[in-house]
Amino acid sequence: MSMHQDLRQEQFKEYAVNPNNEKWENCISRVGDLYQKEYDLRSEFERDYNRILNSGAYSRLKHKTQVFYATTNDHVCTRIEHVNIVASIAKTIARSLGLNVELVEAMAFGHDLGHSPFGHHGERVIAEIMIDEHFPEPFWHEKNSLRMVDYIETLPNYYGEHNNLNLTYAVRDGIVCHCGEVDENALKPRNEFIDLEKMKKGVYMPYTYEGCVVKISDKLAYIGRDIEDATRYNMFNKRDFATLKQIAQTFIKQKVKLKQINPTSLIYELVTDLCINSNPQDGLTFTKENFELMTQVKQFILEKVCMNKRMEPFMNYANLVMRTVYNFLKSYYGGMDTIKNLKKDTKLYTTIIVDFRKWLIKYSNIDMDLRELRKYQNKVIYDMNNLQDYQQAIIDFISCMTDKYIMRVYNDLISF
């Protein structure tokens, strides 16, 4: 390691989340008590990482895709790969700058939990449904991820009792502030210790430098893999490759001519640039040239991949599938009799009816005795006497679905 890199580590070590940081007690605070062992080899953030890694929401990420929905190509990026790539990038940056590696790893692995099926298009569909149904709050996936870790995901304790994950404030903050749409070339953490439930989209920076690192890493991860995946699907013509090559050669100062843009090399260039140029006075920052490179690549992906006409038929299909499932479940609402209404059609629609009934029992007040019998000690979040609570239950249920699961459910609904 060079002397220059050592200097950077010493500068940021002062701001790392550890017991010497004035934010420490806030960062490790939890909404409720987490069971304690007499001996525990793990730090608070390692415990969070383990709780996330063992959650059902993390397992489902392997069947949630990024841009290319319900892919049958084994080499196209899934969300479980994405969070691993984000973690890899974030840990490299954190080590170089002297920040808390355990914290960035927990944030990175948790940042996309509960992301909707069908990628960002599925997120847009859910948001539109909620607008149509006059929900008081808009849907955005970072806040939904926080909702997943705070209220939906559970783990059993030694007695088989299911409790919420109850993660630390710092990890929860990194999740809700993770959006990779970084439009300014200098990130610094905020000082305010705010109620994350009241977080508004795009208003606040993360509470820690570790959160800022994950925020940037999220962007670096997707611009690299989106290019690689689009190339696998032959979505770029010769002119597109020429454009990418020109962008890279304009900003990356290399002695050899590039025959094509390499996503891995692109990410490495940007990570190195960030680590060299960041300092506590200016924040996490790229050179002006490489920030412009990142911005131009992002715009290229938006135009050539996300808005590609090849995506339109599946977008229409995704809209149909998600709205059909939502309306189907909404039709069964009958207050405290909803479970009975669902039970009548169990033989007709086995999968979705059975699974949604389990969902309501676990998270609502519809059958408190059965909740107790099944040892559900997680928070009750739906009042079944309230229609909008029931609609929120459907939204949460759908947002937890994988691409494959919601397509299977839809096929069950239309098949005879």
Residue with tokens 């969300």: 79
Q: What is the pTM of this model?
A: 0.92
Give mean pLDDT, residues 397-415.
94
- pLDDT, tens digit (0-9, with 9 covering 90-100), for 247-294: 877 776 654 455 556 777 788 888 999 999 999 999 999 999 888 888
Give mean pLDDT, residues 114-130.
93
Both structure tokens of 342: 């669902």
* C-alpha span between 413 and 216 (Å, rounded): 41
Give mean pLDDT, residues 91-99.
95
Give mean pLDDT, residues 322-348.
96
- With cut-offs at 50, 70 and 90, classify the pLDDT of residue 225: confident
| 178, 111 Cβ separation under 8 angstroms | yes
DSSP string over 232-268: HTT---HHHHHHHHHHHHHHS--SS--SS--HHHHHH
Q: Mind listing the domains of the chain with CATH numbers?
A: 3-113+153-307 (1.10.3210.10), 310-414 (no CATH)
- With cut-offs at 50, 70 and 90, classify the pLDDT of residue 9: low
Name the residue with higher pLDDT: 342 or 290.
342
The pLDDT assigned to 181 comes to 58
- With cut-offs at 50, 70 and 90, classify the pLDDT of residue 8: low
Half-sphere exposure of 262 (CA within 13 A, CB side): 9
DSSP string over 282-306: TBB---HHHHHHHHHHHHHHIIIII
Name the residue with higher pLDDT: 321 or 259.
321
Phi, psi of 22 (to 5 degrees): -65, -15
The answer on pLDDT for 369 being more than 90 is yes
Q: Give the count of beta carbons closer than 10 Å to the beta carbon of residue 194.
A: 12
- With cut-offs at 50, 70 and 90, classify the pLDDT of residue 68: confident
The pLDDT assigned to 5 comes to 46
Q: What is the mean pLDDT of the chain?
A: 89
Nearest one of 295, 81, 97 to 208, comparing CA atoms: 97
- With cut-offs at 50, 70 and 90, classify the pLDDT of residue 298: confident
The pLDDT assigned to 184 comes to 67
| 226, 180 Cβ separation under 8 angstroms | no
